[in-house]
Structure 1
Amino acid sequence: MSSTYDIVIVGGGTSGLVLANRLSENPNLQVIVLESGVDLKDDQTTLTPGAWPLLSNSPADWSFRATPQENVTRQIAIPQGKALGGSSAINSFLFSPTSRATVEGWKNLGNEGWDYTVYEEAMKKSFTLHKPSGATEGTGPLQLTLATPETPWEKAWIDGLESVGFPQTDPLSGHLGGPIIAPESIDPSTKQRSYSANAYLEPVRSSRPNLTIRTETTVTRVLLERPSSADDAVAKGVQFISKDGPQTIGVRKEVIISAGAINSPRILELSGIGGAALLQSLGIKVVVNNPHVGENLQNHLFTGLVFEAYDDVHTLDAFFRQQPDVVDTASKDYKAKKRDPLCTSNMITMAQLPLPDLHTEDGHKDLDQLLGSLDPASDASRSPPTTPAFAAAHQAFIRSLLTNPSEAVGNYVFGAAYTPFDKPEDPTYRAPGKYVSIAIELSHPLSRGSVHINSTTPEDAGTNQGLIINPRYLSHPLDLEVLARQVRFTEDIISRAKPLTARLKPYTKRFTDLEATKDYVRQTADGAYHYTGTCSMMPRAMGGVVDNRLRVYGCSNLRVCDASIVPLAPTANPQAVVYPVAELGARFIKEDIL
């Protein structure tokens, strides 16, 4: 292994391997990727779509935990991929692009060059979509499978929502507002997971001598020098720990941190980039004083409802209860015929919908009352050191979506099986009988949390220790109001959607009272695995950590390129956001250094 490289990529996850592929296209660039986890290319649990739930709390998961939440009862687990491919190696496959309005919202924070047309081009460069007709769209490395609504439940979901005024929409259009069958990152020819490791890395790994991959190698800090107090810091290399002990490598051009929304701010702080008070309290020399590092953590909070189905309809309950005969049949079918339920995530029946409750005159009054009592200064004080400018911009963005009947503000995932939403004490519980479940997700949270280090021990950097992760769920009162109204909205939809109700046992509405619904949300809500924002892309004065070309403020040759740069949460699962972010990041780097 060389002691110096042109490009050092910290993290071989979803984004890191996109960068590795695109940057090593130039044979004159010596590129190295340093990844804490292992290579799972032959691991059948990773490759088998229906086995994805088994990957949480496995060696491929960092298994982070949030601090106890003041407004949410449940203990919050934070799975993050620890392997080549990162979270794309353990996620649930859904490729659900965010809305045009969201991307334009990023641009409007001051990020020139992030127009939706540019973003969409980068997204389509990342994938090849295989349509039910046999046609394909795109020529990118990631393989996507798009199904038609074939099962009775899929058809009932689509037809049911159409019957109450929400026609099916194109999941890749950027215009969301109805039911969809979501594309999955599954290769239709093999029925196996397609992710950044086997899509972006494996096809070039053996043919590019200028690309080096090191696994089980944890970066503990970036080595920074500052010629004078007036100059930007310069990355000279990185320090890391491997099975051979502590080592250092140098860099000639750039260091790119692609360690994810939890680990990227950790590496910056360990390197001396962060809030001066925190760094000094831990004995870290302050290289760049930026208290916004690790702030603006955003995630989708969700709860859900369960409805009992008639006994003569088919559901996946027996499979999820792991009844031996059903599991054995599924395994044999997958090996022989590549058939459900192991060849899919079983979560593709979705909808991204507006919230009509807030489009009425009374709804506008409620929203005005809620937001009118919260000026940007008070909102900023709710999550220091958020700036008043960003608090105002964030609030204005959310308000624009909530009041627009054409914009989706909630994400809904339908599944034909029981989900223990109201049993946080036993998430493994599966009720006898047959059910359908609807996960109800707050797409655009106003609550913001943080990720900060509380240890400088190098060995902690490769574990889930040494960090305080506080999402601060429901710290903004509008989030509770909107999510509770989404619960009532969902119950109302189901009660009126005859294609669905024809297959469900009679159901008495539980959530006629809004305050009681809010209590249900507090008791049952959980965090999705969609963390963003901790190294946000926006002007430094507004609270940014990186600029519009992903360069870390105060550093001349250090960038962050992953989900942490996304300043406003996407509408749903972030996989379809991280790939275009990485494609754009690779383009910026090529333009800037070559």
Structure 2
Amino acid sequence: MSSETYDVVIVGGGTSGLVLANRLSENPKLQVIVLETGEDRSKDPNTLTPGAWPMLSNSSADWTFHTAPQKDLTRQITIPQGKALGGSSAINSFLFTPTSRATVKAWNNLGNEGWDYAAFEAAMKKSFTLHKPSNVTEGNGPLQLSLAAPESLWEKAWIEGLGSVGLPESDPLSGNLGGPIIAPESIDPKTKQRSYATNAYLDPIRSRSNLMIRTETTVTKVLLEKSSSGGDAVAKGVQTISKDGVSHIIGARKEVIISGGSINSPRILELSGIGRADLLQSLGIDVVVDNPHVGENLQNHIFSGLGFEVRDDVDTIDAFFRQEPEAVALAMQDYGTKGTGPLSTSNMITMAQLPLPDLHTENGSKDLDKLLGLLDPALDVSLSPQTTPAFATAHQAFIRSILTNPLEPVGNYVFGPAYAPFEAPSPTYRAPGKHVSIAIELSHPLSRGSVHITSSAPSHASTNEGLTIDPRYFSHPLDLEVLARQVQFTEDLITRAAPLTQYLKPYTKRFDDLEVAKEYVLRTADAAYHYTGTCSMMPREIGGVVDSRLRVYGVANLRVCDASVVPLEPTANPQAVVYAVAEMGAGFVREDVL
């Protein structure tokens, strides 16, 4: 078995891993290697063409994980995760939606020193250059963001419609949310192509002599040396396996940083002997650090949605979504000649992060009291056995602060001018006619799940086998109560917002009865691709896996830096959060190692 040695070994060449590679290799004295299971797909047209992103799910660029059966849901939940250089930034959509100030404050309140909103915002802004309307540019970060003005009929109708019912447009990058937005997208306005971790952070610095990028190479475990004195273990390097099955050892002089994401990072820790002792022992793994919180606290946004039929004389992009030849040909022509049309965007930039205003009226106060009555830390601990009472109390205090503040959003709403298969017989079904759809996400889930290995076989590490992913959706009753009320709110909103409603066919309300809304949610619910929390950043005694500088408890020179360290789910799509976490993590490593 051959070996080589670097100063810093980065496990995973995804979004976080390539940010780290760029920032750490700025120092020519540091020898850095990045190890990525997937391929380099930076020349793939489907990767680069914005509107082609749905074609990347279930492809070779996707891990295509699946959750364990969820007892309250009717459909199987697939988990797309990027299995390519650039990770999920290479395959998922493009929305760049920073989380709220309140959420970051809640992370800080868990005991994470240095994670105030000012530090978070500074790190996030370091990551991007923002291209606003009228050729206005802000920032000079590697990632290129496009922010459009509301130009299309539907964009204007959404902004004006929500404004007409007392929900004015908000600034998507301010951290002060609560209204409709046109979301920035990680699309380069010059090339009209996806801007992501590979072409933004890696391509400009690939030639650095102190940086090695190795694709189609899977880390099967971190090599840990136990302390004879009972102190922290030391990460000496990693063991890898190539695509043709050859094992290899790569040594680390200074640090190993795991950036595998919320599914693979806890898997690598457990394969390395860091996790719940009884689980590891049952699989024949030597326990180096007994920490039962590894792989726990899995969080994600669950969503439902509503569709509305559109007047025959108003345009939508349904024909393109149905892949009708004429519509596809026109879309290709528009994108190829002008960089416009449905292939030039994610088609999901019309959004809103909203409170539930009715809870804060005189009539709604009893309803709010009913929701708050479901907040019971003892119930929380019983639903998630590895949850500590201290974390349950802190999480529920945060949820209480959101529900009782009339300005804080409880839901993320994504509007699109086409049919979405919320009630369809299959996810690929596309209805005839013209439609608009609104996906309705629960911003702050209380249900928490887990990711744990079921096998110690190295051959599983490069596949979607050998682990169980159980998000336990709707295990906490508050989630269903809030999401069902969001469905009612959305239906009421659309039927009152005249600038929007004028383009719709007559609609009969369906969800005046809350129980009917709950049944609908359970029948139609699906999961976003926003998984966080499985290597949470907080004190070890309340449930932490890493400290506030992302160092793994019990190992002197091992960190995790990716979405898995986020202890409480962000309010919307986590791309912006992951870039900010990676920029902060790179700063910690530079300060601690150099």
TM-score calculated relative to the size of structure 1: 0.99
SS of 2:344 mapped into structure 1? coil
In structure 1, distance between residues paired with 2:377 and 2:364: 21
Note if contact 1:142-1:195 (Cα within 8 Å) is conserved in structure 2.
yes
In structure 1, distance between residues paired with 2:3 and 2:94: 36
Q: Would you say 1:250 and 2:251 are equivalent positions?
A: yes
Question: Residues 151-550 of structure 1 correspond to what in structure 2 (within 5 A)?
Answer: 151-206=152-207, 208-228=208-228, 230-243=230-243, 245-361=246-362, 363-372=364-373, 374-423=375-424, 425-550=425-550
1:200-229 deviations in Å (ceiling 9; x for gaps): 0000001x1000000000000000011225
Note if contact 2:297-2:387 (Cα within 8 Å) is conserved in structure 1.
yes
Note if contact 1:357-1:485 (Cα within 8 Å) is conserved in structure 2.
no
1:562-592 deviations in Å (ceiling 9; x for gaps): 0000000000000000001000000000000
Matched residue type, 1:381: S
Note if contact 2:447-2:473 (Cα within 8 Å) is conserved in structure 1.
yes
Task: Out of 362-371 and 97-106, give the one that drifted further.
Answer: 362-371
1:369-393 deviations in Å (ceiling 9; x for gaps): 4443553122111111000110111
In structure 1, distance between residues paired with 2:533 and 2:317: 36
Note if contact 2:3-2:249 (Cα within 8 Å) is conserved in structure 1.
no
Which residue pairs with 2:56 in the alignment?
Answer: 55
Give how far 1:230 is off: 1.8
Give how far 1:133 is off: 1.6
Give how far 1:448 is off: 0.2
Give how far 1:361 is off: 4.3
In structure 1, distance between residues paired with 2:377 and 2:152: 48
Note if contact 1:12-1:84 (Cα within 8 Å) is conserved in structure 2.
yes
| Change beyond 3 A, Cα 1:167–1:3 | same
TM-score calculated relative to the size of structure 2: 0.99
Unaligned ranges ≥5, structure 1: none
Which residue pairs with 1:572 in the alignment?
Answer: 572
Task: Out of 66-75 and 45-54, give the one that drifted further.
Answer: 66-75
Unaligned ranges ≥5, structure 2: none
Matched residue type, 1:495: T
Matched residue type, 1:18: V
Give how far 1:454 is off: 0.1
Which residue pairs with 2:592 in the alignment?
Answer: 592
Q: How many residues align?
A: 592
SS of 1:412 mapped into structure 2? strand
| Change beyond 3 A, Cα 1:77–1:37 | same
Which residue pairs with 1:141 in the alignment?
Answer: 142
Note if contact 2:10-2:258 (Cα within 8 Å) is conserved in structure 1.
yes
In structure 2, distance between residues paired with 1:346 and 1:2: 47
Note if contact 1:130-1:188 (Cα within 8 Å) is conserved in structure 2.
yes
1:314-338 deviations in Å (ceiling 9; x for gaps): 0000000000011011112211111
Which residue pairs with 2:12 in the alignment?
Answer: 11
In structure 1, distance between residues paired with 2:463 and 2:177: 38
Matched residue type, 2:81: Q
1:499-527 deviations in Å (ceiling 9; x for gaps): 11100000000001001110000010000
Task: Out of 332-341 and 252-261, give the one that drifted further.
Answer: 332-341
Note if contact 2:374-2:477 (Cα within 8 Å) is conserved in structure 1.
no
In structure 2, distance between residues paired with 1:551 and 1:368: 40
Give how far 1:593 is off: 0.8
Matched residue type, 1:175: N
Note if contact 1:364-1:403 (Cα within 8 Å) is conserved in structure 2.
no
Give how far 1:367 is off: 3.8
In structure 2, distance between residues paired with 1:139 and 1:516: 50
SS of 1:342 mapped into structure 2? helix
Which residue pairs with 1:563 in the alignment?
Answer: 563
Give how far 1:356 is off: 1.3
In structure 1, distance between residues paired with 2:469 and 2:374: 28
In structure 1, distance between residues paired with 2:408 and 2:88: 28
Which residue pairs with 2:112 in the alignment?
Answer: 111
| Change beyond 3 A, Cα 1:229–1:491 | farther
Matched residue type, 1:455: S
Task: Out of 76-85 and 349-358, give the one that drifted further.
Answer: 349-358
In structure 1, distance between residues paired with 2:557 and 2:18: 19
SS of 1:36 mapped into structure 2? coil
In structure 2, distance between residues paired with 1:366 and 1:228: 58
Give how far 1:339 is off: 1.1
Give how far 1:363 is off: 3.8
Note if contact 1:66-1:78 (Cα within 8 Å) is conserved in structure 2.
yes
Note if contact 2:178-2:354 (Cα within 8 Å) is conserved in structure 1.
yes
Give how far 1:79 is off: 0.2
Note if contact 2:376-2:396 (Cα within 8 Å) is conserved in structure 1.
no
SS of 1:278 mapped into structure 2? helix
| Change beyond 3 A, Cα 1:229–1:495 | farther
In structure 1, distance between residues paired with 2:71 and 2:361: 32
In structure 2, distance between residues paired with 1:378 and 1:310: 48
Give how far 1:24 is off: 0.2
In structure 1, distance between residues paired with 2:523 and 2:471: 16
Matched residue type, 1:70: K
Give how far 1:362 is off: 5.1
Give how far 1:540 is off: 0.4
In structure 2, distance between residues paired with 1:319 and 1:550: 44
Give how far 1:135 is off: 1.0
In structure 2, distance between residues paired with 1:376 and 1:414: 35
Matched residue type, 1:435: H
Note if contact 2:3-2:248 (Cα within 8 Å) is conserved in structure 1.
no
Note if contact 2:375-2:396 (Cα within 8 Å) is conserved in structure 1.
no
Give how far 1:366 is off: 3.4
In structure 2, distance between residues paired with 1:168 and 1:360: 22
1:421-455 deviations in Å (ceiling 9; x for gaps): 012x4111111100000000000000000000001
In structure 1, distance between residues paired with 2:275 and 2:494: 48
In structure 2, distance between residues paired with 1:103 and 1:374: 21
SS of 1:144 mapped into structure 2? strand
Note if contact 2:354-2:410 (Cα within 8 Å) is conserved in structure 1.
yes
Give how far 1:402 is off: 1.2
1:526-568 deviations in Å (ceiling 9; x for gaps): 0000000000000001100000000000010000000000000
In structure 2, distance between residues paired with 1:580 and 1:285: 34
